[in-house]
Structure 1
């Protein structure tokens, strides 16, 4: 699989993202009742924040997932745990399948996202805070090296705070016998 990234454009991409986030499978994304304009507003705010950034992931040029990277010290996680230098937060939403199921696809997407984050010299640890009830993502996170640190109360959910170090990711990848996925990015993300 060959994944690439580009900046998410709130105006041009809102209709597409709206069609993803309002489907039942994306219930944990928290935008089930959002309008297209709500998506434009939310992602305009994200893109202009300077500490939170959204990227659209492409599979052979076709939009396939959305990733967000953010600095935990400027997020709802501030005060929830001891933020360390080199921490970066991540959110991931894979597009609804367009054809038959592709076993391992979401894991390949997640691996690509982690590759991108750990390609930054200053990133030492990726932080995630999925809804505590989202058991499917907890399994995937563990498979790729995330270690749960416990549940925390965030303004919009009860979350399972988890961390993945560079070393844990590389060990998990080796255990999965993964092959490197080639990617390119032409978009600046959150600065560390």
Structure 2
């Protein structure tokens, strides 16, 4: 979107008879000052960043969902917006390294998390994992899960049909995969995992019309994770031997989403 003309936001144009006449302009004018929100929107479009206008980059509550680019492999996660869940208002917020690395790295160093993610150690190790996705072709998007305004989980939404996982199960076009960790110990074991998994699976199915299935492959040893997927309406598909683990293939079918 082109920037607005510089004169549009030049300040208030006097209209009252007692106001001083603007220099060099003897014509009657109207007050053309734009609302601050619209000025911020034009300014952020012109500079290529929406940080000032958008609480979540790429999503603007004032204009609603936007159409993602045609080559976006995951149909614009940054535009999906918040959703109501039984445990609060939830939103996926695409990761920004400079903002989110300290928090995600701290979560990765929790022994209960590192046992399955294998990313304990210095923040550099987590950063390398994130950058591999952020600098890739868009088939995997790392996100923070924000519940009632507080980041409390880490997610990876990925194209399972374009992932190495597709070599290990009968993948279908546009299958979409989920990885999840709940960060704080206080948020675990309270049913939140199932509630949020259901919500995110629904977001995928709502915003990706070509996707007929949401899939996941938690480690078979991670029984709380498997239970959370079952509680979220996923069904157990098969045991799958992956390079680093033996996994439970979990599937949520679009055709069954209102039954399970």
TM-score where L is the length of structure 2: 0.61
SS in 2 for 1:37: helix
CA contact (8 A) 2:161 2:174 kept: no
1:162 positional shift: 1.8
1:145 aligns with 2:145: no
> What is the aligned counterpart of 1:79 among 167, 180, 188?
167
The answer as to whether partners of 1:146 and 1:168 remain within 8 angstroms in 2 is no
Q: Gaps spanning 5+ residues in structure 2: where?
A: 1-87
Runs (4+) of structure 1 exceeding 4 A deviation are none
Query: Which residue is equivalent to 1:115?
Result: 202
Find the structure with the greater CA-based Rg. 2
User: Are the equivalent residues in 2 in contact too, given 1:131–1:158 (CA < 8 A)?
Assistant: yes
- Higher share of residues assigned strand: 1
Matches within 5 A, 1:42-121: 42-49=129-136, 50-98=138-186, 103-120=190-207, 121=209
Query: What is the alpha-carbon distance in structure 2 between the residues aligned to residue 46 and residue 145 of structure 1?
Result: 28
**How many Å apart are 1:65 and its aligned residue?**
1.0
Once residues 118 and 206 of structure 2 are traced to their aligned partners in structure 1, the CA distance between those partners, rounded to angstroms, is: 29
Residues 19-66 of structure 1: CA deviation (Å, up to 9, x unaligned): 1111122122222x3320111111011122221111111112210111
Matched pairs, number? 170
Question: Which blocks of at least 5 consecutive residues in structure 1 are unaligned?
Answer: 173-192
Is residue 125 from structure 1 mapped to residue 213 from structure 2 by the alignment? yes
- Alpha-carbon distance in 2 for matches of 1:83, 1:102: 31
Larger deviation: 52-61 or 145-154? Answer: 145-154
> TM-score normalised to the size of structure 1?
0.80
